Amino acid sequence: MLLSQLIGERYREKPGDATMASHIFMLRGGYIRQVASGIYTLLPPAKRITAKIEAIIRQEMDAIGGQEVLFPVVMPAELWRESGRYDSIGSELLRMRDRTGHDMLLGMTHEEASVHLARSEATSYTRFPFMIYQIQTKFRDEPRSRGGLIRVREFTMKDAYSFHTSQEDLARYYEICHKAYERIFARVGLPGIVSVKSDTGMMGGKVAHEFMLLSDSGEDSLVICPHCGFSANVEASPVRAAHEERPSRPVRKLETPHCKTIDDLCALLGTTPDRTVKACVFAVEGRRKPVVVFIRGDFEVNEAKLRQRVGADVFPLADSASCPDICFGFIGPVGFSADADVWFDATLEGEKDMVCGANEADLHLSGVDMTPEGLGANWPAGFFDLAKARAGDVCPVCGKPADLRRGIEMGNIFQLGTKYSASMGYTYTDADGKPQTPIMGCYGIGVGRLMAGICEEHHDDYGPVWPISVAPWQIHLCAIGGAKDPAVAEAARQLYGELSARHEVIFDDRNVTAGVAFADADLLGVPVRVIVGRGLGRDGTVEVATRDKSYRENVPLDGVPAAVEAQIARLTAEIG
């Protein structure tokens, strides 16, 4: 391809609203253009990259027995009413009416469509297990898109759905898919992606993992233990609090006027938050009774965990408008008698001599023990893990200090169970002729986000450094000064023909300065660069270099193809 014909202007200025490297370089390099908030057109370099990513994904999905299908983008509301998601999902699901007045929607994932297909095609146990997948456009009406292709409304996604006759078989295949994901990420140049346990959220199901690219610009917080390898999304990470043994002390009632926060309380009493008990109140979707969570004062409640535990969505309450019998600011576990569901977080287990609210305005208690004696009638049946992991916490597995890192989600896998198959009435006949409900897994990778993630991981100050497996071209050929020196132009043209026969070559045939040519080459990030210029007249050589700066050599003109070949082979081998 001739660079002079490539559609997509490149420019030097930093786009005003972009902060992430991938966003900046993909705008500056002519990869993407915004059409509306979170809706982009992909230009030729981006389309070439995504095509390669898709080919790698396809190979790995086929290798684990995946069968490619294509579900519709536009689906009838009926299907989503069957699963219950038409009503349970909010405004990120884009709904519309067709010309005949039927409720339709734009697919954000395709569990419903996959069950719709499978329930007519696989009705005997002999057909199981199987996995179907597609690579297709999806729409999710995100309230705030950000970071170019990192968080968008319209996106191309590989989504896969597997169907099984037992939980064991799902767990077995889930592992196979986990390994396929590791291969995919390694092949696109992201071997460092970590899989972390995640919250299953609106997808339902019990076990889920996210594949995270560690990056300071990521939106997700991850607990990662450098000692034992444990990793989890903060949303899903168990919390193990460091615990200080203290003797019991007598209970005293303290005047604490206007001390409604843990900070106020600690300032007044000269204590620290880890020696206090905090109460957090939540309304629960569809229920009258609120939930009260008692937790150690230095922790926050993880709403994702609470949602899982309660089995419904929860919303923090800040005052007693909807629960007049709760004394906000002074709630405590001793003598608490309001009409609420009460949970005790595991951070409180075994703590002694704590300060907590006295359930009366402007009063607290000190010397409260989290023991049957200390809590009396309110001693709970159990302590549950409801806290949000913090930097500096110890690893919940090995007990050594864990890291808190930021990450960008590049893919996810879920053990869905029977959420969709049961709600949509999908059964198959087992070996005994009895109807059974299939057990499902689902597996997603966002293609555009993966491209952006590769750029986040592989760039320098001047542009992307695309791994050779996904680069838009393998070779960037420049003719510097070709307009003045016919020998340069002719040599470059010949090389273009020769190299194009075996590789994808972008040929900068323009009459521009070396500065412009190199800046553009940096923005296109092509792995191997061939520069025909002054060296040709000087000593008959051409410069061959790699974008990642690992190699640079002046090569005699007739040695260029071999030198290029060697570098392509080396870079390819490095990806593995």
Question: Which residues in this chain contact a copy of itself in the complex, by CB under 8 A?
Answer: 1, 4-9, 30, 33, 35-36, 39-44, 46-48, 50-51, 65, 67-76, 79, 91-92, 94-96, 98-99, 102, 104, 106, 113, 116-118, 120-122, 126-127, 130, 132, 134, 136-137, 139, 141, 143, 153-154, 156
- Residue with Cβ nearer a copy of itself (48 or 209): 48
Smaller CB separation from a copy of itself, 340 or 455:
455
Task: Provide the residue count of the chain.
Answer: 576
Are the C-beta atoms of 222 and 406 separated by less than 8 Å?
Answer: yes
Q: Whole-number minimum distance, CB 461 to a copy of itself, in Å?
A: 25
DSSP 151: B
**Bond into 129 cis (ω within 30):** yes
Q: Which is nearer to a copy of itself, 101 or 311 (CB)?
A: 101
Burial class (CB in 10 A: 0-12, 13-18, 19+), 538: exposed
Least CB distance from residue 522 to a copy of itself, whole Å? Answer: 19
Q: How far apart are CA 279 and CA 159, in angstroms?
A: 41
Give the integer Cα–Cα distance in Å for 181 and 361: 55
Residue type, 555: V
9 vs 300, which CB is nearer to a copy of itself? 9
Q: Nearest distance from residue 97's CB to a copy of itself, in Å?
A: 8
Tokens of 268: 């007044």
To a copy of itself, the closest distance from the beta carbon of 8 in angstroms equals 6
For residue 291, the cross-strand partners are 282, 341
Residue 36 CB, nearest distance to a copy of itself (Å)?
A: 4
Query: In what helix (H) or strand (E) does residue 574 lie, and over which residues does it extend?
Result: helix 560-575
Residue 417 φ then ψ, to 5°: 75, -140
Which residue is associated with the tokens 């690579």? 135
User: What minimum distance in Å lies between the beta carbon of 472 and a copy of itself?
Assistant: 11
Which whole-number Å values give the CA distances from 486 to 294, 331, 480, 490, 500, in the listed order? 80, 85, 11, 6, 21
* Cα 377 to Cα 375: distance, rounded to the nearest angstrom: 6
What three-state secondary structure class fits 49? helix
Give whichever of 70 and 573 is closer to a copy of itself, judged by the CB atom: 70
Strand partners, 133: 68, 160
- Closest to a copy of itself by CB, 106 vs 571, is 106
Smallest separation, CB 78 to a copy of itself (Å): 8
Complex with a copy of itself: residue 9 or 175, whichever CB lies closer:
9
CA distances from 540 to 498, 557, 565 (A): 18, 6, 20
Residue closer to a copy of itself (CB basis): 32 or 495: 32
| Closer CB to a copy of itself, 66 or 357, in the complex | 66
Q: What angle, rounded to 10 degrees, do the helices at 44-63 and 167-187 form?
A: 140
CA-based nearest residue to 420, from 127, 119, 128, 175? 119
| 3/531 with CB nearer a copy of itself | 3
Contacts 24+ apart (CB under 8 A), 535-539: 536/485, 536/487, 536/488, 536/491, 537/485, 537/487, 537/488
To a copy of itself, the closest distance from the beta carbon of 57 in angstroms equals: 14
The SS3 assignment for 358 reads coil
Q: How far is the CB of 64 from a copy of itself (least distance, A)?
A: 12
- Look up residue 283 and give its two tokens: 């309304």
The nearer residue to a copy of itself, 136 or 237, going by C-beta atoms, is 136
Compute the least distance from the CB of residue 42 to a copy of itself, in Å: 4
Greatest distance between any 2 Cα atoms in the chain: 96
Q: Nearest distance from residue 105's CB to a copy of itself, in Å?
A: 10
